[in-house]
């Protein structure tokens, strides 16, 4: 039997994943990821920021949509490891020269972090498995 997952938008930036089990167990709710687009300092670039609850970190990526190859279009990708960017201040500092996070988005990011749920046992196992091998995705800077 398959599990079903539904996503619902909460406000502008928050995503709630609701997972139901085919075995009759009650569904669980967790905030998994928030994502917001913000203005780039350089016209033509796209900047996305958010909170990654399973990794317990803020993240950002800056992309140039005029570049066809996805790997080359991503100019900056930060917050890809557990607890890599622990505060919105650290996120903003790493975005210097790329973007300034608007106050309303800063507030949303802080609320997302405050609403964080602890990693599930499966997430803890996956983190241990992925990060004990020494193979992590490198941040691009």
The string of pLDDT tens digits covering residues 101-126 is 999 999 999 999 999 888 788 877 88
Calculate Rg over the CA atoms of the chain. Answer: 16
Look at the pTM and tell me if it is higher than 0.85: no
The string of pLDDT tens digits covering residues 15-67 is 444 444 444 444 445 557 789 999 999 999 999 999 998 888 999 999 999 99
Burial of 66 (0-12, 13-18, 19+ CB in 10 A): exposed
Across 76-80, 94-98, 116-120, 135-139, least confident range: 135-139
Cβ proximity of 64 and 136 under 8 Å: no
Cβ proximity of 87 and 119 under 8 Å: no
Question: Is the model more confident about 141 or about 74?
Answer: 74
What was the pLDDT predicted at 117?
86
Average model confidence (pLDDT) across the chain: 78
What was the pLDDT predicted at 82?
86
What was the pLDDT predicted at 6?
37
Residue closest to 83 by CA, chosen among 38, 128, 53, 47 = 53
What was the pLDDT predicted at 39?
97
């Amino acid at each position: 039997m398959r599990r079903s997952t539904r996503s619902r938008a909460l406000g502008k930036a928050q995503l709630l994943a609701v997972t139901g089990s085919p075995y009759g167990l009650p569904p669980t709710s967790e905030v998994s990821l928030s994502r917001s687009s913000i203005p780039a300092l350089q016209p033509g670039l796209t900047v996305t920021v958010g909170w990654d609850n399973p990794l317990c970190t803020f993240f950002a990526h800056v992309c140039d949509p005029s570049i066809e190859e996805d790997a080359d279009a991503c100019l900056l990708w930060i917050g890809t490891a557990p607890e890599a960017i622990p505060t919105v201040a650290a996120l903003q500092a790493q975005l210097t020269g790329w973007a300034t996070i608007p106050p309303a988005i800063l507030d949303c990011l802080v609320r997302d972090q405050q609403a964080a749920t602890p990693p599930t046992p499966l997430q803890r196992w996956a983190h241990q498995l992925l990060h004990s091998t020494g193979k992590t995705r490198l941040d691009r800077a």
